[in-house]
Amino acid sequence: MKRVLKIGLVGFLVLMLAASIGATWYLSRALPIGTGYVAKYLCSSVFISLREPGPVFAEDIAPVNPLARVIRYRIDHEAQSVSAEAFGRFSKTAVYREGCGCTLVAGTTAATLEAQSLLPPEFNRFRPVHTADRAWPEGEGPSEDPADFGVDAVRLEAALAAAFHTPDPDKPLQTRAVLVVYNGRLIAERYADGIHQAMPLLGWSMAKSITNALVGILVQKGRLDLRQPAPVPEWQAAGDPRMGITIDQLLRMSSGLAFEEVYAPLKDATAMLYGSADFAAYAAAKLLEREPDTHWNYSSGTANILARMVRQAVTADYPHYYQFIHQALFDKIGMYSAVLEPDASGTFVGSSYAFATARDWARFGLLYLQDGVWQGERILPQGWVAYTTTPTRGAPRGEYGAHFWLNAGAPDNSADRPWPGAPADAYAARGFQEQRVIVIPSRQLVLVRLGATADRRAWDSNQFIQDVIAALP
What is the distance between the alpha carbons of residues 384 and 378, in angstroms, rounded to a whole number?
Answer: 11
202 and 64 in one domain? Answer: no
Q: Confirm whether 108 is domain-assigned.
A: yes
Flag whether 299 is in a domain: yes
Say if 378 falls within a structural domain: yes
8 domain-assigned: no
Among 106, 89, 88, CA closest to 37 = 106
175 and 60 belong to one structural domain = no
The amino acid present at 59, given as its one-letter code, is E
Query: Residue 260 to residues 154, 257, 264, 269, 406: CA-CA distances in angstroms?
Result: 45, 10, 10, 6, 22
Residues 65 and 152 in one domain: no
260 within a domain of the structure (yes/no):
yes
Q: Please give the pLDDT value at position 18.
A: 46
Task: Clarify whether residues 359 and 447 are in a common domain.
Answer: yes
Cβ atoms 303, 257 nearer than 8 A: no
The region, left, alpha or beta by phi > 0 then psi within -120 to 50, assigned to residue 318 is: beta
Closest CA to 98 of 56, 50, 35, 57: 50
Q: Is residue 4 part of a domain?
A: no
DSSP string, 61-122: ITTT-TTGGGEEEEEETTTTEEEEEETTTEEEEEEEETTTEEEE--SS-HHHHHH--SS-TT
Bridge partners (DSSP) of residue 451 are 175
CATH assignment of the domain containing 355: 3.40.710.10
Q: Does residue 20 lie in a domain region?
A: no
- Domain edge (last residue) among 116, 136, 155: 116
* Structural domain range at position 61: 25-116
Q: Are residues 104 and 196 in the same domain?
A: no
Say yes or no: 68 and 204 in one domain: no
6 belongs to a structural domain:
no
CB-based contact 184:444 (threshold 8 Å): yes
CA dihedral 431→433→437→442, nearest 10 degrees, is 100
Q: From first to last of its 473 residues, what are the pLDDT tens digits of the chain?
A: 555 555 555 555 445 444 444 445 455 567 889 999 999 999 999 999 999 999 999 999 999 998 889 999 999 999 999 999 999 888 999 999 999 999 999 999 999 999 999 999 888 777 888 999 999 999 999 999 999 999 999 999 999 999 999 988 888 999 999 999 999 999 999 999 999 999 999 999 999 999 999 999 999 999 999 999 999 999 999 999 999 999 999 999 999 999 999 888 779 999 999 999 999 999 999 999 999 999 999 999 999 999 999 999 999 999 999 999 999 999 999 999 999 999 999 999 999 999 999 999 999 999 999 999 999 999 999 999 999 999 999 999 999 999 999 999 999 898 999 999 999 999 999 999 999 999 999 999 999 999 999 998 999 999 999 999 999 99
Domain ends where: 96, 116, 136? 116
Contact in structure between 172 and 458 (CB atoms under 8 Å): yes
**Whether 190 and 84 share a structural domain:** no
Under a CB-based contact definition with an 8 Å cutoff, are residues 349 and 343 in contact? Answer: yes
DSSP code per residue over 22-34: HHHHHHHHHHHHH
Same domain, yes or no: 161 and 59:
no
| Number of domains observed in the structure of the chain | 2
The distance from CA 411 to its chain's CA centroid, rounded to whole angstroms, is: 27
Within this chain, do residues 160 and 79 fall inside the same structural domain, yes or no? Answer: no
Beta bridge partners of 182: 185, 445
445 neighbors 188 (Cβ within 8 angstroms): no
Same domain, yes or no: 346 and 283 = yes
Q: Give the torsion through C-alpha atoms of 90, 103, 83, 32, to 10 deg.
A: -20
Of 94, 116, 138, the one marking the end of a domain is 116
Report the run of H or E that residue 339 belongs to, with start and end: strand 339-340
167/36 same-domain check: no
Residue 220 has φ and ψ, to the nearest 5°, of: -60, -35
Tell whether omega for the bond before 137 is within 30 degrees of 0, i.e. cis. Answer: yes
Same domain, 366 and 304: yes
Task: Say what the pLDDT of residue 6 is.
Answer: 56
